[in-house]
């Protein structure tokens, strides 16, 4: 039996797994592969240099989808999403232009994140869009509910990229979400396999978001050196940077990241650190395969990555393993027999 949740029912998914909207990585090849495998793929708007480039990326993604997948999400037209992350910037990107381009191309599923998302969410909802919003605190999540979003992504401290500035793990955050939220929510951070998916569902989530794990798939358009590095890494090979600037990011622990940490410990001002954390340096990691070229996002799930499967293989395995875990947990329920109470399974 397939895993059926409010997320799979709303978005016509086979597996309640969302691919994180990763900068430089959320491009048509990976997005289509995730969708074809039964999950929700997400195009990253800000990876594209302009709204017109996003239009082209949306069209390319559509061309890579199998016909039955392209037609499965009748309510929201297309079976993939576009991520729009609002960044603090003196010269912000054309967020409205990206949103308009996506809407005009038929996209009706969006992932939003970042600062002051209310106006953007309002415009997307006017177009009948399904909006999944990322939150790193319960306070933020409660506020987001009032903006009219459809689903929340609860991002724990284990997340790659920007997990917020409060060191709260997903175990507590998801339990708090179950207590405090009336909207469905998915779990983000620290998930790479079916065991993690089953755990998230047991904590009340209707699905999971994975970023780092999808980097190490055959369809991820990044250098093989990076994928091989991830397979050889452990859960100890990440570090938080930019904490002193209240813009915490979890990245792979390389020489550049360690230099950022050293400078921060000495009270460095941001202009001293900025050249090291340049997005272009990080992009070189993915294009040239030099894992020491810049900072790049990674979570402790590196310790759970032992191969580089296709997205189909990954989601098939996750689905099967999650179902097995859930069945085993169901067996833990004490059942009466002639001798009284008995535990029938062990995890």
* Extents of the domains making up the chain: 6-221, 224-300
Dist CA 78 CA 110 (whole Å)? 11
User: Which fold would CATH assign to domain 6-221?
Assistant: TIM Barrel (3.20.20)
Adjacency order of strands within the sheet including 17-19 = 17-19, 208-210, 185-188, 151-155, 130-135, 109-114, 81-86, 42-44
DSSP string, 72-96: S-TTTSSS-EEEEEE---SS---HH
Dist CA 280 CA 191 (whole Å)? 27
Q: What is the residue whose two structure tokens read 């039964």?
A: 38
* Contact in structure between 40 and 10 (CB atoms under 8 Å): no
For residue 3, which of 156, 181, 200 has the smallest C-alpha distance? 200
One pLDDT digit (tens) per residue for the chain, 347 residues = 689 999 999 999 999 999 999 999 999 999 999 999 999 999 999 999 999 999 999 999 999 999 999 988 888 889 999 999 998 777 889 999 999 999 999 999 999 999 889 999 999 999 999 999 999 999 999 999 999 999 999 999 999 998 888 888 999 999 999 999 999 999 999 999 999 999 999 999 999 999 999 999 999 999 999 999 999 999 999 999 999 999 999 999 999 999 999 999 999 999 999 999 999 999 999 999 999 999 999 999 999 999 999 999 999 999 999 999 999 988 888 565 544 454 444 44
* Contact in structure between 172 and 140 (CB atoms under 8 Å): no
- 323 class by beta-carbon count within 10 Å (0-12 exposed, 13-18 middle, 19+ buried): middle
Q: Assign 172 to helix, strand or coil.
A: helix
Whole-prediction pTM value?
0.94
Dist CA 51 CA 43 (whole Å)? 13
* Contact in structure between 149 and 129 (CB atoms under 8 Å): no
Q: Which segments within 213-257 are labelled E, that is strand?
A: 238-241, 249-252
Element (H, E) at 155: strand 151-155
- CA-based diameter of the chain, in Å? 73
């Amino acid at each position: 039996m397939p895993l059926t949740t409010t997320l799979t029912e709303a978005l016509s998914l086979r597996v309640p797994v969302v691919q994180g909207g990763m900068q430089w990585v959320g491009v048509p090849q990976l997005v289509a592969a995730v969708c074809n495998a039964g999950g929700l793929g997400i195009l990253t708007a800000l990876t594209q240099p302009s709204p017109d480039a996003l239009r082209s990326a949306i069209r390319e993604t559509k061309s890579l989808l199998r016909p039955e997948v392209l037609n499965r999400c009748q309510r929201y037209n297309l079976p993939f999403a576009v991520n729009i992350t609002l960044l603090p910037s003196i010269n912000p990107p054309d967020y409205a232009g990206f949103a308009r381009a996506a809407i005009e191309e038929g996209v009706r599923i969006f992932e939003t994140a970042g600062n002051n998302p209310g106006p953007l969410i309002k415009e997307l909802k006017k177009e009948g869009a399904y909006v999944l919003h990322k939150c790193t605190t319960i306070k933020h999540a409660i506020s987001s509910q009032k903006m009219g979003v459809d689903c929340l992504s609860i991002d724990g401290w284990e997340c790659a990229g920007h997990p917020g500035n409060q060191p709260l793990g997903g175990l507590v955050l998801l339990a708090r979400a179950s207590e405090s939220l009336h909207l469905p929510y998915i779990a983000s951070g620290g998930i790479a396999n079916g065991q993690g998916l089953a755990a998230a569902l047991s904590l009340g989530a209707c699905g999971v978001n994975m970023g780092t794990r999808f980097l190490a798939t055959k369809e991820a358009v990044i250098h093989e050196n990076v994928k091989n590095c991830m397979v050889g890494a452990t859960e100890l090979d990440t570090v938080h940077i930019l904490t002193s600037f209240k813009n915490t990011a979890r990245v792979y622990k390389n020489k550049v990241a360690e230099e950022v940490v050293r400078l921060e410990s000495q009270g460095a001002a941001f202009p001293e650190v900025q050249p090291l954390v340049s997005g272009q340096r990080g992009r070189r990691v993915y294009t040239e395969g030099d894992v020491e070229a810049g900072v790049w996002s990674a979570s402790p799930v590196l310790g759970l990555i032992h191969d580089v499967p296709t997205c189909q293989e990954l989601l098939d395995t996750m689905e099967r393993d999650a179902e097995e875990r859930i069945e085993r947990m169901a067996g833990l329920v004490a059942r009466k027999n002639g001798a009284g109470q008995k535990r029938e399974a062990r995890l």
